[in-house]
Amino acid sequence: MPASVESQYDLLIIGGGINGAGIARDAAGRGAKVLLVEKDDLASHTSSASTKLVHGGLRYLEHFEFRLVRESLIERERLLRIAPHIIWPLRFVLPHDKGLRPKWMLRLGLYLYDNLGGRKLLPPTRTVNLRAPPHGEVLENRLTKGFEYSDCWVEDSRLVVLNCMDARDRGAEIRTRTECVALERHDTHWRATLSGPEGEQTVTASTVVNAAGPWVDAVLGKAMPSEAHTNLRLVKGSHLVFPKLYEGRHAYIFQNRDNRIVFAIPYEREYTLVGTTDVLFTGDPNHVEISEEERRYICDAVNEYLRIDVSPDQAVWDYSGVRPLYDDHKSDNSTVTRDYVFDLDEVGGAPVLSIFGGKITTYRKLAEHALEKLGDFGEGSWTADTPLPGGDIDPARFDNCFAETLAKYPWFGPQGVLRLLRAYGTRIEAILGEASGLEDLGEHMGGDLYEAELRYLVEEEFARSASDVLWRRSKLGLHLDEAAQARIADWFAKNVN
């Protein structure tokens, strides 16, 4: 598009993480003309570095954040209904350990957890004997009693992509690899300079939503350069992935002596995901890495509970991200609120809404509240009951859907069909379509990945590089060897500009 032509939008959203994606979807569905820009790939940073949970936040009850927990628990079941292909129930086992939180406190917390959000789809808490299978051979002998409760697992980066897909299908423009490099405020609109693959372009928008995560203050600096912006506390969370540490489909939640908790979660069939940490971060959010101290912290936490000891060198992968929390000036990083905070500035001209904090679980409600805060986008809660792309499956019938899909594509194999169904839901048809065998899917990249899936990811899911596919649209990077990953990179180099 020529630089001299200015496109006009109702809403310019800066940031392609879960908050920006959710707002784009909601606003586009209300008829707004929306442009979302992301300087990297969708979910490149915080939104792909979570513990992969849709949960109420059991430990937030200790900090009396009852509203946040209640909202999260209500949203947990709503999200399970609208995206049952990428969100599914998971049972968590919480061992009681003498000297830490007493049994009565755990029981009370889990009673509130079961009842605050009007739980309907998920089973309730129960007491478990940790000396009986499957826990007796996994946990230390001192651990005899515990509690098992429900939460949900989520493919976090796919949740972002699906929201952006639905926003696009409802008329929004989604531009990745496009950075907002300048903002100029006027009485009735903003003029934004965008730098993307095709060079610079200027657009205008009635309202700016600053959902830039760790870069929220930097965007505010472009919008209002005469003011100081120091609203964020960046807290780093890191995770380690080990070869499977125990059998079973359940997760563990371990209490630490520092009052924090660490999860151990079944991951990608062959692995166990362990985390997370809470470390004040003062570096460049573009480059976030786990420290040796964090590696040791995670291993020490696990070794307190599991019979087998793990060491940092046994991890096959690690990832880290920074949480862009609103700085409420509490001293402990783990007690800084995870609730979202809005800052609406409309004094100097056209409005800009900046978003701090938030959780994946509450992103949809955050989007509703953001549009209510702006006040120009009508009312309604249409996203609460409308499935995300591929999510038009009854959560209670997912196994039936799998059986039906496998019967249609038996030549792809149970593991391959399950992977595709868990990623794409009913949109698996757009990949396998009328194919009658593997030879109809194009070049074989490795494992159960074929060219047909790559083409779908490019055409429908904004993928532009091998890493987009291997680490965000999927976690195939854990399963494919170096030769396969090189073939994928070569394919992108030849087929994607």
> How does pLDDT run across 289-315, given as a tens digit for each residue?
999 999 999 999 999 999 999 999 999
Weakest-pLDDT range from 99-103, 278-282, 293-297, 443-447:
99-103
Domain identity same for 348 and 213: yes
Confidence of residue 2 (pLDDT cuts 50, 70, 90): very low
CA–CA gap between residue 77 and residue 82 (Å, rounded): 9
* 47 pLDDT higher than 90: yes
Dihedral angle, C-alpha 484, 486, 492, 497, nearest 10 °? 170
pLDDT score, position 203: 97
* DSSP secondary structure string for all residues of 102-114: -HHHHHHHHHHHH
Task: Report if residue 130 sits inside a domain.
Answer: yes
Q: What would the two tokens of residue 475 be?
A: 């976690």
Domain identity same for 146 and 242: yes
Domain identity same for 149 and 276: yes
* 3 pLDDT higher than 60: no
* Tally of CB atoms within 10 A around 13: 32
Domain identity same for 356 and 414: no
* Tally of CB atoms within 10 A around 62: 12
pLDDT score, position 1: 41
Domain identity same for 196 and 165: yes
* DSSP state, residue 118: T
CA–CA gap between residue 310 and residue 152 (Å, rounded): 26
Q: Which of 326, 346, 373 is the last residue of a domain?
A: 326
Residue 80 burial by Cβ neighbours in a 10 Å radius (0-12, 13-18, 19+): buried
The number of folded domains in the chain is 3
Averaged pLDDT, 47-64:
87
Domain identity same for 242 and 149: yes
Domain identity same for 275 and 318: yes
Domain identity same for 98 and 219: no
Domain identity same for 148 and 291: yes
Averaged pLDDT, 34-56:
96
Task: Report if residue 425 sits inside a domain.
Answer: yes
* Tally of CB atoms within 10 A around 244: 13
Task: Report if residue 63 sits inside a domain.
Answer: no
pLDDT score, position 5: 61
The residue among 209, 213, 181 whose CA lies nearest residue 196 is 181
CA–CA gap between residue 76 and residue 293 (Å, rounded): 33
Structural domain boundaries, residue 282: 89-153+233-326
pLDDT score, position 313: 97
CA–CA gap between residue 466 and residue 475 (Å, rounded): 11
pLDDT score, position 335: 56
Any bridge partners for residue 146, and if so which?
95, 128
Distances (CA, A) of 65 to 56, 208, 340: 11, 29, 12
pLDDT score, position 497: 73
Domain identity same for 289 and 352: no
Q: How many residues does the chain have?
A: 497
* 95 pLDDT higher than 90: yes
Write down the H helix ranges in 185-340.
216-223, 292-303
* 468 pLDDT higher than 90: yes
- Let me know: does 7 contact 203? Beta carbons within 8 Å: yes
Q: Which of 326, 355, 375 is the last residue of a domain?
A: 326
- Let me know: does 362 contact 79? Beta carbons within 8 Å: no
Task: Report if residue 24 sits inside a domain.
Answer: yes
* 379 pLDDT higher than 90: no
Task: Report if residue 55 sits inside a domain.
Answer: no
The residue written with tokens 């310019």 in the block is 12
Confidence of residue 103 (pLDDT cuts 50, 70, 90): confident
Domain identity same for 141 and 237: yes
* DSSP secondary structure string for all residues of 256-278: -TTS-EEEEEEETTTEEEEE---
- Let me know: does 272 contact 241? Beta carbons within 8 Å: yes
* 378 pLDDT higher than 80: no
Domain identity same for 217 and 239: no
415 Cβ partners below 8 Å, 6+ apart? 448
Which CATH number fits the domain that encloses residue 276?
Answer: 3.30.9.10
* 125 pLDDT higher than 80: yes
Buried b (16+ CB within 10 A) or exposed e, 84-96: bbbbbbbbbbbbb
Task: Report if residue 212 sits inside a domain.
Answer: yes
- Let me know: does 281 contact 126? Beta carbons within 8 Å: no
Residue 128 burial by Cβ neighbours in a 10 Å radius (0-12, 13-18, 19+): middle
Task: Report if residue 390 sits inside a domain.
Answer: no
* 228 pLDDT higher than 80: no
Confidence of residue 50 (pLDDT cuts 50, 70, 90): very high
Which CATH number fits the domain that encloses residue 171?
Answer: 3.50.50.60
Query: Helix 66-82 vs helix 103-115: angle between axes, to the nearest 10 degrees?
Result: 50
Task: Report if residue 70 sits inside a domain.
Answer: no
- Let me know: does 388 contact 166? Beta carbons within 8 Å: yes
Q: Which of 384, 405, 422 is the last residue of a domain?
A: 384
Confidence of residue 336 (pLDDT cuts 50, 70, 90): low
Which CATH number fits the domain that encloses residue 465?
Answer: 1.10.8.870
